[in-house]
Amino acid sequence: MAARVSGVRHNETDPNAEVAALYARTWPRLIGVLVSIGGSRADAEEVAQDAYVKLLGRWDSIRRYDDPEAWVRAVAVRTLISRLRRQQVAQRASAKLLGRTGEVREPDGDALDVAAALARIPPAQRAVVVLHHVMDLPVDQIADELQVPPGTVKSRLARARQALAPLLAVQEEVPHG
């Protein structure tokens, strides 16, 4: 018997084939989002693979969602944020053990780009910036996906914009003479 959910007709089909189709359709976009947040394609691919494996195990219920891609993206982004936080803690601990300050060197003006600027803000702020400004997701959807209140998303966006503004400021050269 076929069920109609979210305008999509579901028959008794192979769940692996359905997930494979979703995977093929959404993989490139998800990797782009994760690389934008984390900076590493290898980490992005690993986190995305884990999210799709989790999806396969829950496909019977998630296939009925209005947007299964949003579920995968949410799982992957939350996992990546957690991974990035753990890496930051480990780097700080390592720097302290080695007697370093852990200060980040100021980037050269010409070498600074959006990815480098994003890498300088906390992962949670980076995620909301990418989801909002790159994926064009509304605040409420980001809040649902990250499992935080909308006010938290707004706060992270405001802090991220404030932190990114000086990093992305383009200095215009004034002609002398």
Note the pLDDT of residue 67.
93
CA atoms of 77 and 36, how far apart (whole Å): 11
Contact 88, 102 (CB under 8 A): no
pLDDT value of residue 23? 94
Q: What is the pLDDT along the chain (177 residues), one digit of tens a residue?
A: 334 444 444 545 787 888 899 999 999 999 999 998 888 899 999 999 999 999 988 999 999 999 999 999 999 999 998 888 877 766 666 556 665 544 544 544 433 467 778 888 888 898 898 888 888 889 999 999 889 999 999 999 999 988 888 887 754 444 554
Question: Can you give the pLDDT at residue 107?
Answer: 46
Position 14 scores a pLDDT of: 81
Give this prediction's pTM. 0.63
Residue 70: what pLDDT? 93
Q: Which residues pair with 3 in a beta bridge?
A: 10
- 3-state per-residue secondary structure call for the chain: CCEEECCEEECCCCHHHHHHHHHHHHHHHHHHHHHHHHCCHHHHHHHHHHHHHHHHHHHHHHCCCCCHHHHHHHHHHHHHHHHHHHHHHHHHHHHHHCCCCCCCCCCCCCCCCHHHHHHCCCHHHHHHHHHHHHCCCCHHHHHHHHCCCHHHHHHHHHHHHHHHHHHHCCCCCCCCC
CA distance 67 to 15: 16
